[in-house]
Amino acid sequence: MSVEKGREITISVLKFNPRSKVSKPHYVDYKLEETPGMTLFIALMKIREEMDPDLSFDFVCRAGICGSCGMVVNGKPALACRTLIANYPEGKLTLLPMPAFELIKDLSVNTGKWMDGMSKRVESWIVSDHEVDISKMEDRIEPDVANETFELDRCIECGICVASCGTKLMRPDFVGPVGLNRVARFEVDPHDKRTAEDFYELIGDDDGIFGCMSLLACEDHCPKHLPLQNKIAYLRRKLVALR
């Protein structure tokens, strides 16, 4: 019995090692056969195993959970493990590392370092006026408030909204949609006792809430479909009154 062959696809990758004195940015084309249900992650693994062991890219979970595999696919930031090759009928994918983050090599960027800086900048932790006694039951909160907090907490820190953000490319210190979403998460959480004035101190400038140009690409590309623009607009309305 003959097995039907899949179509040939071409994956073109911008390769560069910034730590090498001889490396220069250049594209390498890899041709391979598409298999049923093939994701970009599977294709990259095949390339690394069979064609180019030197190719660098990141992954951990393969399931859209860890946020490691972000890259720019035909001009749009996306998770490689959630990108189906079948959705590219022309069979040609061009891959670049996400901008706005430190390049490690090829498609691998240091989102962790950036997220750490962002978390410190927006003081991404509960600020409360009383010590938490972990032997006691947690404070009760309204289910709809808990749901809203959990909704915003679904962020996987993939950095795709940052790589999609026009403001971030113009303002290197912009805290990014993920940072503003983080503030929105603590603003809605009744465990956090910070006031609007406290949040204004953190993000009340053009590198924070007033820098966003509402281009919407962050929300368009967020793999978790977080309501980034709604939350940014809400925070901006709340904090502009303090200007």
Residues between 213 and 232 that touch ligand SF4 (CB under 6 A)? 222-224, 226, 228
How many residues touch ligand FES under the rule CB under 6 A: the total is: 12
Q: How far is the CB of 223 from ligand FES (least distance, A)?
A: 8
- What are the angstrom distances between the C-alpha of 180 and each of 18, 137, 168? 30, 30, 12
Two structure tokens written together for 26: 């250049």
39 versus 149: smaller Cβ distance to ligand FES: 39
Q: Does 38 bind ligand SF4 (CB under 6 A)?
A: no
Q: On the CB side of 83, how many CA atoms lie within 13 Å of its CA?
A: 26
How many residues touch ligand SF4 under the rule CB under 6 A: the total is: 15
Three-state secondary-structure class, residue 9: strand
- What are the angstrom distances between the C-alpha of 163 and each of 37, 158, 199? 27, 10, 24
Q: Does 145 bind ligand FES (CB under 6 A)?
A: no
Q: Does 185 bind ligand SF4 (CB under 6 A)?
A: no
Q: Does 127 bind ligand FES (CB under 6 A)?
A: no
Residues between 147 and 176 that touch ligand SF4 (CB under 6 A)? 155-161
Q: How far is the CB of 79 from ligand SF4 (least distance, A)?
A: 9
Q: How far is the CB of 87 from ligand SF4 (least distance, A)?
A: 19
Q: Which does 157 bind (CB under 5 to 8 A by kind): ligand SF4, ligand FES, none?
A: ligand SF4
Backbone angles phi, psi at 131, to 5 degrees: -65, 140
Which value, to the nearest 10 degrees, does the dihedral of the CA atoms of residues 7, 75, 71, 152 take?
A: -120
Q: How far is the CB of 54 from ligand SF4 (least distance, A)?
A: 28
Query: For residues 191 and 127, what is the distance between their CA atoms, to the nearest angstrom?
Result: 8
Which of 10, 31, 33, 61 lies at the binding interface for ligand FES (CB under 6 A)? 61
Q: Does 59 bind ligand FES (CB under 6 A)?
A: yes
Which of 15, 47, 57, 68 lies at the binding interface for ligand FES (CB under 6 A)? 68
* Cα angle 149-221-151, degrees, rounded to a multiple of 5: 10
Three-state secondary-structure class, residue 13: strand
What b-and-e string marks burial along 144-158, b requiring 16 or more CB atoms within 10 Å of the CB?
Answer: eeeebbebbeebbbb
Residues that bind ligand FES (CB under 6 A): 59-62, 64-69, 79, 81
Residues of this chain that bind ligand SF4 (CB under 6 A): 155-161, 177-178, 181, 222-224, 226, 228
